[in-house]
Copies of this chain bind each other. A is one copy, B any other.
Amino acid sequence: MTNSTETRERMPINFSQKLDLIADLWQPRVVAEMNDYQFKLVRIEGDFVWHDHPETDETFIVIDGILRIDFRDGFVRLGPGEMFVVPRGVEHKPYAEREVRLLLIEPRGVLNTGNAGGERTAANDRWI
């Protein structure tokens, strides 16, 4: 290990610091990419719309709060340090009684409302 190695420190992505920069709810912001996948942070509160993503699975990792994801035939409840992968084509509806801070992982280009569209559709590929 040389001295020059010591001096070039790269910065990690800190989820809490990034989330503190996000002012608006339900507006995912991209923080990193891995191949053609994106890592998105989002603050949510309340009820979302039923939708699915016919082409891809979608990963939810909770940073803060309690997230409930409803399915047509059940639900899952996630707290901090928990994850769930919603399989492609499975209708789901996220719900947060109080604010939840989430990390989403999905392929680049996936819209938050999937195939449902409508006024809840957020701008895509916005970085923070």
Number of copies: 2
Tell me whether B35 and A73 are in contact (CB under 8 A).
no
Interface bracket on A: 35 or more
Dominant secondary structure of chain A at its interface with chain B: strand
Q: Output the nearest chain B residue to A67 by Cβ-Cβ distance.
A: B12
Tell me whether B85 and A34 are in contact (CB under 8 A).
yes
A125 at the interface (CB under 8 A from B): no
Tell me whether A81 and B1 are in contact (CB under 8 A).
no
A49 and B53 alpha carbons, distance in the complex (Å): 39
A99 at the interface (CB under 8 A from B): no
Shortest distance in angstroms between A107's beta carbon and chain B's nearest beta carbon?
Answer: 8
A11 at the interface (CB under 8 A from B): yes
Contact with B along A1-39 (1 / 0, CB 8 A): 100111111111111100000000000000111110101
Q: Which of B10, B56, B63 contacts A75 (CB 8 A)?
A: B10
Tell me whether B34 and A82 are in contact (CB under 8 A).
no
Tell me whether B10 and A85 are in contact (CB under 8 A).
no
A76 at the interface (CB under 8 A from B): yes
Listed in ascending order, the chain A residues whose CB lies under 8 Å from chain B are 1, 4-16, 31-35, 37, 39, 56-59, 63, 70-79, 81-85, 88, 105-107
